[in-house]
Structure 1
Amino acid sequence: MNMKEITQIRLENARGLAEQAGGNTNFANKIDREPTQISRFMGANPTKNIGNRLARHIETCFGKPKGWLDYDYSDSVRQDGGAYYHANTAPTAQPIRYYRYPVISAIQAGHFADCVVPYPAGMEERHEATDYQAKGQAFWLEVKGDSMTAPAGATPSIPEGSFVLVDTGIEATPGKLVVAQIDESNEATFKKLIEDGGQKYLKALNPAYPLIHCNGKCRIIGVAVEAKTKL
């Protein structure tokens, strides 16, 4: 079976919600949009796609979990109440939910915790999906350099080019891999948080790099919960 484009999946799911709502006009009222706007991305020949921000807005308005609109339900059977179940499974079997988080730069990550909105304008241009549901605001950060590349045979080892998912809602305890901002730096750094003699440090997995002392000016932004490497 060919994989559908995300734009087609969102369109089909949005049309399904409109059907449940009683038509595009009711759908438009539900998401606080004009019917003419709806026709642009939901009509017979859409001229616009449902973007990330609008997709999340639609999910919120219909009480759906984040990422719901991005899941392909074409091999599922809809039961009463709008829930979806796979056709060949018992009603208790639910489809895997995927969540999409923005990919941001180290500079953007350095300012992430200061943002009033989940992420500043421009960050939403690129996303990566995962089945991990974050406890707080979350983002993907691409690893630069070899400071987190451990010696051969040692684990974990996170080479340059990997993506780490950072959850700002998890407590940063010693032993965790964290993203932190050092002093007044404009950039964030990805290191392991350790404690020695009552003092906290940021430690690279590559022993060639020195320890960084967290002297009160080290701001932990979030904890890495997942890593992926693209070949």
Structure 2
Amino acid sequence: MVDKNTLRAAFSERLHEALNDAGVRSRGRGVDIHRQLKALGVEKTTQAISKWLNGEAIAEADSMSALCSWLKVRREWLEYGVLPKKQTGESNVHKIAVGDGSNVREINQRFGKVPLISWVQAGAWCEAISNFEAYDADSWLSCPVPISNHGYALKVLGDSMTNPGPGRSYPTGCIIFVDPEAETRTGDRVIARVPRTNEATFKVLVEDAGRQFLRPINPQYPIIDITEETHICGKVVGSFIPE
């Protein structure tokens, strides 16, 4: 588990950094923030704002959006420390074409909140994709990359996807973002539900001699055969390691 106090302190540090970049005075920052948020239609008490500045709390969704708009920083950076820091002016909703030209469909993609779900829930997600807006999760995370409306996040458990050498690695505690509507190809990081279990697994999709397998990055773990009962639940499209 990521310590909440550590997350709050890291958010406070980034908030102060953004305020410094914007030339906001050091003394009386709480008053300045209160004034700016109010101008943007967000009402917060000075006590609540003081907690953000002192590392005792993290701003809620409405306040986070207003702060980013005012300070010209990306929400993914302010909330989670995911670079780059500055806004680029790109739209929050992207449309991508999927298909071979004869049967093309569009998938709406967005930079937005996705539910952080359990690995058991991820296995169930394979059966019937839940409605994104109605899904009731304890935690919602800002996705740093475009993702479909049915995307979700998972917290990596264990070290089967930890690289003991150079290269991309997904250690325990790493947050991964999964798009169940994204097309998967050999070499992609995927979430799959294997036979005789309700839980999902995180592996690399590989192919050899016409057969497909699920391969862990850590060579100490076995390769899993893909059978007719194996279900690919989605493609991992992004990740970050909480500070």
How would you bin the TM-score normalised by the shorter chain?
A: 0.5 to 0.7
1:55 is matched with: none
Amino acid at match of 2:188: K
- Structure 1: which 5+ runs fail to align? 17-41, 46-66, 77-92
SS in 2 for 1:107: helix
CA deviation profile, 1:9-54 (whole Å, cap 9, x unmatched): 7x976x59xxxxxxxxxxxxxxxxxxxxxxxxx9x99xxxxxxxxx
CA deviation profile, 1:173-195 (whole Å, cap 9, x unmatched): 11000001001311000000000
Q: TM-score, normalised by structure 1?
A: 0.60
Which whole-Å CA distance do the structure 2 matches of 1:119 and 1:199 have between them? 37
2:116 is matched with: 103
Q: CA offset at residue 129 of structure 1?
A: 1.1
Q: Relative contact order: is structure 1 or structure 2 higher (C-alpha 8 Å, sep ≥ 6)?
A: 2
**Structure 1 runs (4+) greater than 6 angstroms displaced:** 2-5
Alignment partner for residue 220 of structure 1, among 212, 221, 232?
232
Quickly say closer, same or farther: Cα 1:122–1:157, change in 2 above 3 A.
same
Quickly say closer, same or farther: Cα 1:206–1:115, change in 2 above 3 A.
same
Quickly say closer, same or farther: Cα 1:94–1:214, change in 2 above 3 A.
same
CA deviation profile, 1:49-90 (whole Å, cap 9, x unmatched): xxxxxxxxxxxxxxxxxx9996223358xxxxxxxxxxxxxx
Which whole-Å CA distance do the structure 2 matches of 1:126 and 1:198 have between them? 40
SS in 1 for 2:148: coil
- Structure 2: which 5+ runs fail to align? 1-18, 20-28, 46-60, 73-87, 93-110
SS in 2 for 1:224: strand
Return the index of the structure with the highest Cα Rg: 1
1:59 is matched with: none
| 1:71 is the counterpart of 2:83 | no
Percent identical across equivalent pairs?
27
1:94 is matched with: 89
Aligned positions, number: 162
1:168 is matched with: 180
Q: CA offset at residue 130 of structure 1?
A: 2.9
Amino acid at match of 1:74: W
